[in-house]
Amino acid sequence: MGGSRALCVDTDALVNILALDALDIALNLLGVTRSECFRLRAAKPQILKAAWVENQWPFFDREKAASVVDDLRLLPQMPPDDLLDALNVDGIDEGEALFLATLSENPDYLLISGDRRMLEALHGSEDIRLAKVREAVRGRVILFPQVVAALVRKLSLRVVETKIRTGLCRHRTLKILFGSKRPTEPDHFREAFESEMRTYASICGEDWLFPL
């Protein structure tokens, strides 16, 4: 694999972006198309059946989302076993390991993830093998809050907030970013986003993430 930009999207982030009906907008912001976007094999079964999806988005249209996911690609080949073995640690699940290993082998690939535990596990280990993965993927990991902020800049705060409120969203990060007061004040969103990003920067460093 390798040679052109592609985007890997972890399932949790994918569900949230689909719930916001913003997949194509997010992909366009990153300069990729659906055919250049990779998802996990388990993404479609989870979208159709997993309880956590409904817990976060009570009115999530599972069938519509599953039809969109059909347009996304599965990784054409598995990364080397030694990379997967190195990433087999507490805090990094199987799908995250697959994507991180894939990124380390493909310098033009990006990853959208929303998992703080993954970052803590990746950056908290002194294992030299994980250190090599950290450096290999530096500057190519995008966090879900970054995607939300980019959507707010593209669509407006009110448009994104309306999607979240009407969907009765219970996602922790989105509840923090948009708060309980309606409508969300721009200053609240900005301060909440900056606070979230400071927390992530304390884990992985200021320049480790992709600048979106």
Q: Is residue 57 a contact partner of residue 19, using CB atoms and an 8 Å limit? A: yes
- Those residues of the chain that have pLDDT short of 50 are 1-2
CB 98 within 8 A of CB 75: yes
pLDDT at 1: 42
pLDDT at residue 75, as a whole number: 87
Residue 5 confidence (pLDDT)? 86
Locate 187 and state its tokens.
Answer: 């200053």
| pLDDT per position as a tens digit, 47-71 | 999 999 999 999 999 999 999 999 9
Task: For residue 84, give every residue at least 6 positions away whose Cβ sits within 8 Å of its Cβ, in sequence order, or none.
Answer: 78, 97, 98, 101
* Stated pTM of the model: 0.94
Query: How high is the pLDDT of residue 114?
Result: 78
CA distance 19 to 66: 11
Task: Tell me the pLDDT tens digit for each residue of 115-139.
Answer: 889 999 999 988 999 999 999 999 9
| Residues 176/180/183/189 CA torsion (nearest 10 deg) | -20
Give the domain ranges of the chain: 6-143, 146-200
Helix then strand then coil, in percent of the chain rounded to 5, is 60, 5, 35
Would you say domain 6-143 falls under CATH 3.40.50? yes
Per-residue pLDDT at 2: 43
